[in-house]
Amino acid sequence: MADIDRAALGIDGPLRKRRISGPRTKVHNVHNVFGGVGDAAAPNLIRFVTFVRFITQEAAMDPVNNPYNPGAGGRPPELVGRDDILEAAQITVKRIAGGKHSRSLMLLGLRGVGKTVLLNEIKDIAVDCGLHAGKMEAPANKKFLEKAVPLIRKVLLEFDETTKTKSFIDGALGAVQNFASVFKVSAGGVEVGVKAKRGIADSGDLATDLTDLLVTTAKAAQSAKTGIIILVDEVQYLGEEDLSALVVALHEVSQQNLPLALFGAGLPQLPTLAAEANSYAERLFDYRTVGSLSKKESIEALKAPAEAEGVKWETAALTKVVNATEGYPFFLQEWGFQAWNASPTKTIAASLIPSVNRAAIARLDKGFFKSRHGRMTDREVEYVRAMADLGAGSHRSGEIAKEMGVSISAAAPIRSSLIEKGMIYSPSGYGDAAFTVPMFDGYLRRVVLKLEGGAKKSRSKSAAKKAAKKKDG
Ligand SMILES: Nc1ncnc2c1ncn2[C@@H]1O[C@H](COP(=O)(O)OP(=O)(O)OP(=O)(O)O)[C@@H](O)[C@H]1O
Ligand SMILES: [Mg+2]
């Protein structure tokens, strides 16, 4: 990507050539601009302008100091627009720390909006409050218990063992042992040497045994005058049985007013999944939407990290990036990152943004979008392509099937497997579909239609028309 930006700037050679280590002098700058590949070529006008900018500005932007952090779960340099959620989390954590129960919080949002970042932040808040916290990611292969049981055991082993707490901790560790052996999962590590009590977490009924496990664990925390926060990312991957058992167990924990709370994060279909798994799930969880940032927040997310490094953004440059990213946090980090690396001066100029757009999109196409694309079967690609052909936003299942040229019943299993893989979701909960990855429709139009070649050109034209019509409408 840096190559694209650098080409736009008229600078050849590896990026590191532009960086100056040691005492910075104008002679170094001259050497760096004209050094490397392309020495032999006569400098053109752009290179000359770049050269002048280098010698008249003291410091170019060093990629080493680039503050933007595009990546899965990577803490952003400025966590903006999430005060409400963090406040709610703080209240929950403080209640648990005070020995009271609190409703579990579920963060819902599309890919790349910052759910994992928030879970990490909440975990830190919990630990700072003296609570015991364990975080896990629900695996896509539905082996939830294989991760959950060792996590609970690990949390229990952190408790201070005193004469007052020992019997509670041993009771909970016994429940872990029973549970692990009944459900044939590893408790994670060497045997803890406690004598498991019969009749606790050993019935073979998942909901009953998970309830025993969480209740004994929460009681152990209560005896140690502390509380437990369990954080589960990608909750939508939980199978129906696991999700239902978890809901039953948390319900019992709440009825017994025990100091244990769960913070979950998942794709927006989660409330439907939880309601299907258990009718009272709706009242058990406090659902919070994590969305794109407002214009003001997006500007703050871009501006503040730069200012902390003595770098400015032209106002028009900020507006262009906010428009291009639609305020999606991951995209803001990606655009900020590219803009920083592309800027030859300490002011990020609006004129730079078209090349930044190209660089950022090219990198997303090769990474963020492509990784999702690669996980789909050919039939699934046909389904999502039909969605993209219909334009941005959500579409009725019937419309998508029609666009694919198949019956609704033939398209239904493809739709289900895409939902299960977390590629699409149903915003209304009934028969519609939208992408869980923001701007995925644009990627499909850009890349998949291109891969398919000219044969599908007429279709892509009709898609463009439909998309334009939808936008106008
Ligand atoms: N409030 C925010 N302000 C600015 N950037 C943010 C904010 N929250 C998250 N980000 C950035 O967005 C990117 C994605 O964050 P994160 O991985 O937490 O998203 P996610 O919702 O968990 O995505 P996924 O569903 O794919 O797991 C990261 O680069 C992170 O730094
Ligand atoms: Mg995540």
CATH number for position 264? 3.40.50.300
Whole-model pTM? 0.82
Domain check: are 128 and 245 in the same one? Answer: yes
| Residue with CA at minimum distance from ligand 1 atom 4 | 329
Domain check: are 202 and 340 in the same one? Answer: no
Domain check: are 270 and 380 in the same one? Answer: no
Mark which of 339, 366, 393 sits at the end of a domain. 366
What lies within 8 Å, CB to CB, of 95 at 6+ separation is 101, 102, 261
Domain check: are 300 and 277 in the same one? Answer: no
Neighbours of ion ligand 2 (CB under 5 A): 115-116
Q: Which ligand is nearest to the CA of 327?
A: 1
Is the minimum distance from the CB of 10 to ligand 1 under 6 angstroms?
A: no
Distance from the alpha carbon of residue 453 to the mean position of ligand 2, in angstroms = 34
Asked if 304 and 36 touch (Cβ cutoff 8 Å), the reply is no
Residue 67 and residue 79: Cα distance in Å, rounded?
13
Domain check: are 252 and 378 in the same one? Answer: no
Sequence letter at residue 288: R
Other C-beta atoms within 10 Å of 377: how many? 12
Domain check: are 168 and 277 in the same one? Answer: yes
Domain check: are 225 and 91 in the same one? Answer: yes
Contacts 24+ apart (CB under 8 A), 294-299: 294/81, 294/327, 295/322, 295/327, 297/80, 297/81, 297/327, 298/322, 298/325, 298/327, 298/332
**Residue 432 within any structural domain of the chain:** yes
Q: Which ligand is nearest to the CA of 122?
A: 1
The ranges of the chain with pLDDT < 70 are 1-60, 189-196, 451-473
Is the minimum distance from the CB of 303 to ligand 1 under 6 angstroms?
A: no
| Residue 271 backbone class (left: φ over 0; alpha: ψ -120 to 50; beta: rest) | alpha
pLDDT number for residue 275:
75
Mark which of 319, 336, 366 sits at the end of a domain. 366
Q: Which ligand is nearest to the CA of 85?
A: 1
**Residue 78 within any structural domain of the chain:** no
Question: Which atom of ligand 1 approaches the CA of 119 most closely?
Answer: 18
Q: How far out from the chain centre does Cα 334 lie?
A: 14
Count how many residues are written for the chain: 473
Q: And the tokens for 342?
A: 């592309």
Which of 75, 111, 117 is the best mutation target for the ligand 1 pocket, counting ligand atoms within 8 Å of the beta carbon and taking the most?
Answer: 117
Q: Which helix (H) or strand (E) holds 72?
A: none
Is the minimum distance from the CB of 433 to ligand 1 under 6 angstroms?
A: no
Distance from the alpha carbon of residue 365 to the mean position of ligand 1, in angstroms = 18
Q: Which ligand is nearest to the CA of 112?
A: 1
* CATH code of the domain in which 455 resides: 1.10.10.10
pLDDT in tens, 81-105: 999 999 999 999 999 999 888 888 9
Is the minimum distance from the CB of 330 to ligand 1 under 6 angstroms?
A: yes
Question: Which atom of ligand 1 approaches the CA of 109 most closely?
Answer: 21
| Domain span holding position 111 | 83-289
Is the minimum distance from the CB of 369 to ligand 1 under 6 angstroms?
A: no
Q: Which ligand is nearest to the CA of 301?
A: 1
**Residue 252 within any structural domain of the chain:** yes
Is the minimum distance from the CB of 304 to ligand 1 under 6 angstroms?
A: no
**Residue 269 within any structural domain of the chain:** yes
* CATH code of the domain in which 351 resides: 1.10.8
Is the minimum distance from the CB of 327 to ligand 1 under 6 angstroms?
A: no
Distance from the alpha carbon of residue 462 to the mean position of ligand 2, in angstroms = 35
Is the minimum distance from the CB of 268 to ligand 1 under 6 angstroms?
A: no
**Residue 207 within any structural domain of the chain:** yes
Domain check: are 94 and 179 in the same one? Answer: yes
pLDDT number for residue 219:
96
pLDDT number for residue 32:
30
Sequence letter at residue 285: F
Candidates 176, 239, 158, 244; CA nearest to 212 is: 176
Mark which of 264, 289, 314 sits at the end of a domain. 289
| Residue with CA at minimum distance from ligand 1 atom 29 | 70
Is the minimum distance from the CB of 437 to ligand 1 under 6 angstroms?
A: no
Domain check: are 335 and 405 in the same one? Answer: no
**Residue 105 within any structural domain of the chain:** yes
Distance from the alpha carbon of residue 294 to the mean position of ligand 1, in angstroms = 15
Domain check: are 98 and 188 in the same one? Answer: yes
Q: How far out from the chain centre does Cα 225 lie?
A: 33
Is the minimum distance from the CB of 335 to ligand 1 under 6 angstroms?
A: no
Domain check: are 69 and 55 in the same one? Answer: no
Candidates 183, 261, 182; CA nearest to 217 is: 261
Q: What 3-state DSSP class applies to 224?
A: coil
User: In total, how many domains does the chain have?
Assistant: 4
**Residue 1 within any structural domain of the chain:** no
Which of 80, 113, 298, 440 is the best mutation target for the ligand 1 pocket, counting ligand atoms within 8 Å of the beta carbon and taking the most?
Answer: 113
pLDDT number for residue 55:
52
Domain check: are 34 and 124 in the same one? Answer: no
